[in-house]
Structure 1
Amino acid sequence: MAVRTSTKLAAAGLVALAVLAGCAADKPKPASLEPLESQIAGRQIWNTRLSDVTFPLLVTVRAGRFHVAADNGTVVALEAATGREIWRGDAGGRLSAGVGSDGRYAAVVTRDNELVVMDGGSVTWRAKLESPVVTAPLVAGERVFIVGVDRIVHAFDVLDGRRLWTLKRPGDALTLSQAGVLAAYKDTLLVGQGARLLGLDPLKGTVRWDTALTTPRGTNEVERLADLVGPPSRTGSVFCMRSFQNAVGCIDAERGTLKWVQNGGGVEAVGGNDEYVVSADGSDRITARKRASGELAWTSEMLLNRAVSAPVAMGTTVVFGDYEGLLHFMAQDTGKPLLRLPTDGSRVAAPPVLSDSNLLVVTRAGGVFAFRPE
Structure 2
Amino acid sequence: MNVTAFASLRATRVWPLLALTVALAACSSGPKRPSPAPLAPVSALVPATLAWNVGVGAVDPLMTPAVQGSTVVLANATGLVQALDARSGQTLWRADAKAPLSAGVGSDGRQAAVVTRQNDLVALDAGGEQWRVRLSARVFTPPLVAGERVFVLAADRSVAAYDGKTGARLWSQAARGTDPLILQQPGVLLAVGDTLVAGVSGRLVGLNPTNGGLRWDAAIARPRGINEIERLVDLVGRVGRVDDQVCARAFQAAVGCVDAARGTLQWTQPADGATGVHADADRVYGVESNGRVQAWKRANGERAWSTDRLLHRGVTAPLAAGRSIMVGDAQGFVHLLSREDGALLNRLSTDGSAVVAGPFLAGNTLIAVTRKGGVYGWRPE
TM-score range, shorter chain: over 0.9
- The one of 117, 129, 133 aligned to 1:111: 117
What is the alpha-carbon distance in structure 2 between the residues aligned to residue 309 and residue 193 of structure 1? 22
Partner of 2:269: 262
Does the Cα contact within 8 Å between 2:103 and 2:139 map onto a contact in 1?
yes
| Partner SS for 2:358 | coil
Does the Cα contact within 8 Å between 1:357 and 1:372 map onto a contact in 2?
yes
What is the alpha-carbon distance in structure 1 between the residues aligned to residue 49 and residue 352 of structure 2? 17
Instruction: Rate the CA distance shift 1:325–1:138 in 2: closer, same or farther, 3 A.
Output: same
| Partner SS for 1:17 | helix
- The one of 341, 363, 369 aligned to 1:356: 363
Partner of 2:50: 44
Match for 2:367: what amino acid?
L
Does the Cα contact within 8 Å between 1:76 and 1:121 map onto a contact in 2?
no
Residue pairs, 1:244-263, within 5 angstroms: 244-263=251-270
1:345 matched to 2:355? The reply is: no
Shift of 1:351: 2.7
Does the Cα contact within 8 Å between 2:369 and 2:376 map onto a contact in 1?
yes
Identity of matched residues, %: 45
Shift of 1:25: 3.3
What is the alpha-carbon distance in structure 2 between the residues aligned to residue 363 and residue 349 of structure 1? 5
- The one of 93, 97, 111 aligned to 1:91: 97
Deviation by residue 1:258-315 (Cα, 9 ceiling, x = unmatched):
1111101010111231111111111011111111111111110000000011111111
Partner of 2:245: 238
- The one of 194, 218, 223 aligned to 1:216: 223
- The one of 315, 319, 337 aligned to 1:330: 337
Shift of 1:121: 4.8
Does the Cα contact within 8 Å between 2:334 and 2:359 map onto a contact in 1?
no
Shift of 1:373: 1.0
Shift of 1:215: 2.0
Runs of 5+ unmatched residues, structure 2: 1-8
Partner of 1:54: 60
What is the alpha-carbon distance in structure 2 between the residues aligned to residue 149 and residue 16 of structure 1? 16
Shift of 1:180: 0.5
Partner of 1:229: 236
Deviation by residue 1:71-115 (Cα, 9 ceiling, x = unmatched):
111111111111111101110101111210011100111111111
Partner of 2:328: 321
- The one of 3, 11, 15 aligned to 1:3: 11
Shift of 1:28: 0.9
Shift of 1:356: 2.6
Deviation by residue 1:14-35 (Cα, 9 ceiling, x = unmatched):
6662125855331111101011
Match for 1:370: what amino acid?
G
Deviation by residue 1:9-62 (Cα, 9 ceiling, x = unmatched):
x6xxx6662125855331111101011122121111001011111241222111
Match for 2:182: what amino acid?
T
Instruction: Rate the CA distance shift 1:58–1:15 in 2: closer, same or farther, 3 A.
Output: same
Shift of 1:350: 1.5
1:148 matched to 2:151? The reply is: no
Partner of 1:192: 199
Q: Superposition RMSD on alpha carbons, in Å?
A: 1.4
Does the Cα contact within 8 Å between 1:182 and 1:231 map onto a contact in 2?
no
Aligned residues: 369
Does the Cα contact within 8 Å between 2:141 and 2:187 map onto a contact in 1?
yes
Match for 1:329: what amino acid?
L
Does the Cα contact within 8 Å between 1:312 and 1:320 map onto a contact in 2?
yes
